[in-house]
């Protein structure tokens, strides 16, 4: 069932759990996420970056993901992840996405507000939900100073102003996660999350969640995270299996016997995340 992101996240916000948002770039990744959601009876976000769009093409991704979403009983939001341009967000509105992220987090506050507000106006007129980001993602190193932390992480007062002026549906915040593989052990600024959530009282998004410890994730959900983005862990699940199969058999060339098992590995990883996030059984 294809639904808006807001429908899924309003329920998660009210019932205090998080929904997995999984990046896909091909049919096998998509099928793995859908099969996991069905098996777990969990709502889910399927998301595509601008990089995925230029790799696979907007038409292929849009048709394939909408087909999958419409042909399953679990709620699926079809989401643009890290849209950097107003134009990309508009193309997604015209091509059937039900949720778009506009990421102006690298701009000064006023510019981020202006860009986000423009996307919110257009998207809401089309019944599409919007995610925006405030604060910069990076790693939290052991020796990071309080000043550095304050400069990077989401400022609670700015978050209030940002949401009031943009009317965005859900907000991604920076509290110590980073995209990709971690070198050290990520530690989240739970106190900051607590203050922001209590003040905003709306769905909050965590990016860069691959490789973050289970306890950190569980705590963050208890403090109000409702959408958790996972990309790297799925890429690793897929490519680990491909590497294993190719390593075990130098003669193999039937693609289906290589990426078919990779699809199963990704599905298992997605199910593990859904259970951790408390999304299983919430469809
Ligand atoms: O945050 C998003 C992704 O993990 C990076 O994805 O390589 O498709 O831009 P991308
Ligand atoms: P990871 O690749 O670190 O899981 O981050 C995913 C993400 O934030 C996508 O927007
Ligand atoms: Zn991200």
DSSP string, 91-138: HHHHTT-SEEEE--TTS-HHHHHHHHHHHHHHHHHTT-EEEEEES---
Cα 97 to Cα 88: distance, rounded to the nearest angstrom: 11
Q: What does DSSP say about strands 225-230 and 99-102: parallel, antiparallel, or unpaired?
A: unpaired
CA of 172 to the centre of ligand 1 (A): 15
Q: How many domains does the chain contain in total?
A: 1
Instruction: Read off φ and ψ for residue 167, nearest 5 degrees.
Output: 60, 35
**Nearest of 215, 142, 137 to residue 176 by alpha carbon:** 137
Q: Whose CA is nearest to atom 3 of ligand 1?
A: 231
Give domain status of residue 253, yes or no.
Answer: yes
Ligand 1 pocket mutation pick from 55, 80, 179 by most atoms within 8 angstroms of CB: 179
Q: Which atom of ligand 1 is nearest to the CA of 49?
A: 8
Q: Is the pLDDT of residue 145 over 90?
A: no
Percent pLDDT > 70 in the chain is 97
Please list, in sequence order, all residues whose beta carbon lies within 8 angstroms of the beta carbon of residue 196, skipping any fewer than 6 positions away. 154, 156, 159, 173, 204, 224
30: Cβ below 6 Å to ligand 1? Answer: no
Give domain status of residue 47, yes or no.
Answer: yes
Q: Whole domain around residue 150: which residue ranges?
A: 2-277
Q: What angle do CA 175, 275, 236 make, to 5 degrees?
A: 70
User: pLDDT tens digits for 14-44?
Assistant: 999 999 999 999 999 999 999 999 999 999 9
Q: In residues, how long is the chain?
A: 283
Proximal ligand: closest to the CA of 47: 2
Task: Report residues near ion ligand 3: CB below 5 Å.
Answer: 207, 229
Q: Is the pLDDT of residue 143 over 70?
A: no
Active site residues: 81
Percent pLDDT > 90 in the chain is 93
Give domain status of residue 27, yes or no.
Answer: yes
Give domain status of residue 232, yes or no.
Answer: yes
| The model scores a pTM over 0.95 | yes
Sign of the alpha-carbon torsion through 239, 92, 203, 111: positive
Give domain status of residue 283, yes or no.
Answer: no
**171-208 as b/e, with b when 16 or more CB fall inside 10 Å?**
bbbbbbbbbeebeeebbbbeebbbbbbeebebbbbbbb
Give domain status of residue 35, yes or no.
Answer: yes
> Is 17 within 8 Å of 279 (Cβ atoms)?
yes
> Is 156 within 8 Å of 116 (Cβ atoms)?
no
User: pLDDT tens digits for 227-249?
Assistant: 999 999 999 999 999 999 999 99
The CATH number of the domain where 272 resides is what? Answer: 3.20.20.70
Proximal ligand: closest to the CA of 235: 2
Q: Is the pLDDT of residue 142 over 60?
A: no
Q: How much is the pLDDT for 151?
A: 74
CA of 71 to the centre of ligand 3 (A): 27
Q: Is the pLDDT of residue 138 over 90?
A: no
Q: How much is the pLDDT for 149?
A: 73
């Amino acid at each position: 069932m294809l639904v808006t992101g807001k429908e899924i996240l309003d329920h998660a916000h009210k019932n205090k759990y998080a929904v997995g948002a999984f990046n896909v770039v091909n049919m096998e990744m998509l099928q793995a996420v859908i099969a996991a959601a069905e098996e777990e009876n969990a709502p889910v976000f399927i998301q595509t970056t601008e990089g995925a769009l230029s790799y696979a093409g907007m038409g292929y991704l849009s048709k394939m993901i909408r087909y999958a979403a419409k042909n399953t009983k679990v709620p699926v939001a079809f989401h643009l992840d890290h849209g950097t341009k107003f134009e990309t967000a508009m193309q997604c509105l015209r091509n059937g996405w039900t949720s778009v992220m506009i990421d102006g987090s690298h701009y000064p506050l006023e510019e981020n507000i202006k860009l986000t507000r423009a996307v919110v106006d257009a998207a809401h007129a089309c019944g599409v939900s919007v995610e925006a980001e405030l604060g910069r993602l990076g790693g939290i190193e052991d020796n990071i100073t309080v000043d550095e932390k304050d400069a990077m992480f989401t400022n609670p007062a700015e978050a209030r102003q940002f949401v009031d002026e943009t009317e965005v549906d859900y907000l991604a915040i920076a509290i110590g996660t980073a995209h990709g593989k971690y070198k050290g052990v990520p530690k989240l600024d739970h106190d900051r999350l607590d203050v922001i959530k209590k003040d905003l009282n709306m769905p909050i998004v965590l990016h860069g969640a691959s490789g973050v410890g289970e306890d950190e994730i569980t705590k963050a959900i208890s403090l109000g995270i409702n959408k958790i983005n996972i990309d790297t862990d799925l890429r690793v699940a897929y490519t680990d299996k491909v590497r294993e199969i190719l390593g075990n058999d130098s003669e193999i060339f039937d693609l289906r016997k290589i990426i078919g098992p990779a699809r199963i590995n990704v599905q298992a990883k997605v199910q593990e995340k859904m259970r951790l996030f408390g999304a299983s059984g919430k469809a």
